[in-house]
Structure 1
Amino acid sequence: MERIYIGMGSNLADPAEQLRSAIESLAQLPHTELVAVSAFYQSDSLLPGQPRYTNAVAALDSSLAPLDLLDALQAIENAQGRERLERWGPRTLDLDIVLFGDRLIDEPRLKVPHYHLQERAFVLYPLAELAPADLRLADGRTLTDLLAACPFIGLERIPQTSR
């Protein structure tokens, strides 16, 4: 079993509910245990004119191979109405493998640590809620250094609400 961190985001069709539904689906993945989920955060879209995103990070322990996990995550996205019409378009659900144990993965379909991680406060701050304080990425960077270089700007921690 490896510790894997999944970045989650949605800006369509009740984003908080999309994340809650995704969390339920993550908990059902075979050979996988859902360990923890961060608070939810709202952030502006990277592109103008799109609704704000709701983001979170989930920690999983899994024995799935990286591409098998990627396929399972994409199946969850598809089940929740994800349409891949444009690369940076609005979405019902986006699930990204942010970290996969201590692995460096450079496959055509999967790059880990997730590219642009260092620029994504909406991933780094929820990740910091779950990861050990001394987390060192497989490429040598520390989470502490990434947080120091990526200010908590444009993020709003939102309260969890029950169904």
Structure 2
Amino acid sequence: MERALEALQAEQKIRVVHCSSIYETEPYGPVRQPDFLNMVAQVETFFPPLPFLRKLQEIETALSRAREVHWGPRTIDLDLLVFGQKVTCSEALSLPHPEIARRAFVLKPLVEIAPHLVVPGLHRSVMDLWQNLNGGEDVQLWRTNNGGGKFGLFEN
């Protein structure tokens, strides 16, 4: 995660603004694998949405992401959740992320950094989505973002 954040920050057209704490969850999907670590980051970018998604995929590849099994084990998974107030649905990109309202491992860290963000197209705040989600109790704090370390994440 730190290397992904550093890669984002190294881009001239991207600035990491804020990062959540890191949360541990059981893996999503049918493939047996170790627990996942999840976090969200708020960034500012001059990239339009699709080129920004491609940049995220380049970073995944640089960090040895292999897309071998759908919902299978992976070293890193960078998702574009929201992009301003854009709402779009195409084969290449859907905004907001189509599963954002159903995934506790996304909403819990997002509540931490942007509880009042109204998700475009859903017209509900992140906090409202979180409070009305069933099954969010499996999202466990793994490491608090306490302001230490380069991005505030990796100090014990």
- TM-score range normalised by the length of the shorter chain: 0.7 to 0.9
1:138: Cα distance to partner?
1.2
How many residue pairs get aligned? The number is 144
SS in 2 for 1:125: helix
2:101 aligned residue? 118
Matched, 1:57 2:18: no
Matched, 1:29 2:22: no
Moved over 4 A (4+): none
Does the 8 Å contact 2:108/2:139 carry over to 1? no
Q: Show CA shifts across 1:135-155 (max 9, x none).
A: 211111221221112253111
Gaps of 5+ in 2: 144-152
The equivalent position to 1:152 in structure 2, one of 117, 126, 136, is: 136
* Alignment root-mean-square deviation, CA: 1.5
Matches within 5 A, 1:40-55: 40-46=22-28, 47=30, 49-55=32-38
Between the aligned residues of both structures, percent identity stands at 33
Does the 8 Å contact 2:31/2:71 carry over to 1? no
Matched, 1:85 2:68: yes
1:20: Cα distance to partner?
1.1
Normalising to structure 1: TM-score of the pair?
A: 0.82
1:48: Cα distance to partner?
5.0
